[in-house]
Amino acid sequence: MSDAQQALDPGAGRTGVDLGFRERISGWRQRAGRSEVILFLLFIAPNMMLFSVFTFWPMIYNMYLSTVRWDMISPTRQSVGTANFEYLLTQGSFHNVLLNTFYFTAGAVGGTLILGLLFALLLNQPLRGRDGVRAVVFAPTLLSGAAIAIVWIYMFDPRFGIIAQMLALSGITSPRWLNDPSWAMVAIIIVYVWKNLGITLVIYLAGLQAIPKELYEAAKIDGAGPLRTFWSVTLPMLSPITFFLFVTSLLSSFQAFDIIHVMTSGGPVESTMTLIYYVYEQGFVVFNAGRAAAAALVLFVIMFVITILQLHYSERKVHYG
């Protein structure tokens, strides 16, 4: 190339060099990208194996079991298609199980959140002995549900239980808590709320102490009273914590088993038979694996739909600022 051409186009002589350099850079990036993908797959492989063995495969196998009739002992399984689901949807007893489940969930979750927030507001005040009260309230969370249920069985005794003695001081006859279908679910909810109140209180208390004091000072300057301050400052600032507790409490209540099993075994007259206990009874008492799998799939669908609705609601209502 002549000097005159180089003067007119200084980059003309470097075109081949530039293209080669760009190709090498592109090759390096592709190799680096493949290396990152391989490294990513190596990191997630153990977790994916665990999920596959303990989550995905049981879910798929449960779907298969819901289409068969099997007593969990016989080597043969009879394919019945959707008969198990048709049975559940047409039986009034299963409808009562669903109603019991929603009744228990509403009472357990609502009672835990409301009482947890009220106790947190109280123990957030500079009261004497509040640390000891926090410890006492939190203690049941560390105990097993079966042990708590045994203690409460004696407390609910209509003749000699401590609750009956306290009601007798006011001239009130104690109901037959665990033997009366009208009171059995109420007793279960009381025990469940008492056991899970502590963790809810502690989390709410941490949230209250994290709210900036400047917001309360600004509300006071604007003339807001205690109720208005609670509604306009405290509740919005606690909305992420409330949403977290609501989700975890809801999912936990759908899986509550130990307290119900020890205290009532689903009775009396199936008044405390929730969906998770129905799955247990069908699978391990009457040995109907297909019907138990179908009920478990119904439980999964309900929990999945509720989770989707909660996530959709949180995007609009939960305040993270």
Q: What is the pLDDT of residues 209-261, one digit of tens each?
A: 888 888 888 888 888 888 898 888 889 899 889 988 998 899 899 989 999 99
Region 5-32: what's the mean pLDDT? 58
Grouping H, G, I as helix, E, B as strand and the rest as coil, residue 303 is: helix
> Do 34 and 138 sit in the same domain of this protein?
no
Q: How far apart are the first and last CA of the chain?
A: 65
Question: Structural domain tally of the chain?
Answer: 2
* pLDDT confidence tier of residue 40, bands split at 50, 70 and 90: confident
> Do 119 and 30 sit in the same domain of this protein?
no
| pLDDT value of residue 317 | 61
Residue 215: count of CB within 10 angstroms of its CB: 15
Range of the domain at 168: 79-317
* pLDDT confidence tier of residue 116, bands split at 50, 70 and 90: very high
* pLDDT confidence tier of residue 306, bands split at 50, 70 and 90: confident
Tell me how far apart the alpha carbons of residues 20 and 32 are, in angstroms, rounded to a whole number: 18
> Do 24 and 124 sit in the same domain of this protein?
no
C-beta separation of 293 from 72 below 8 A: no
> Do 131 and 8 sit in the same domain of this protein?
no
In a domain, 143, yes or no: yes
> Do 126 and 191 sit in the same domain of this protein?
yes
In a domain, 68, yes or no: no
In a domain, 61, yes or no: no
Tell me how far apart the alpha carbons of residues 167 and 165 are, in angstroms, rounded to a whole number: 5
> Do 49 and 88 sit in the same domain of this protein?
no
> Do 155 and 278 sit in the same domain of this protein?
yes
Whether the full predicted model's pTM is greater than 0.75, yes or no, is yes
Region 260-277: what's the mean pLDDT? 93
Tell me how far apart the alpha carbons of residues 199 and 163 are, in angstroms, rounded to a whole number: 25
In a domain, 59, yes or no: no
In a domain, 273, yes or no: yes
Please report which residue ranges of 124-234 form alpha helices under DSSP H. Answer: 130-138, 145-155, 162-169, 184-210, 213-221, 226-229
DSSP-derived secondary structure for 212-236: -HHHHHHHHHTT--HHHHIIIIIHH
> Do 121 and 223 sit in the same domain of this protein?
yes
In a domain, 251, yes or no: yes
> Do 225 and 276 sit in the same domain of this protein?
yes
| pLDDT value of residue 311 | 78
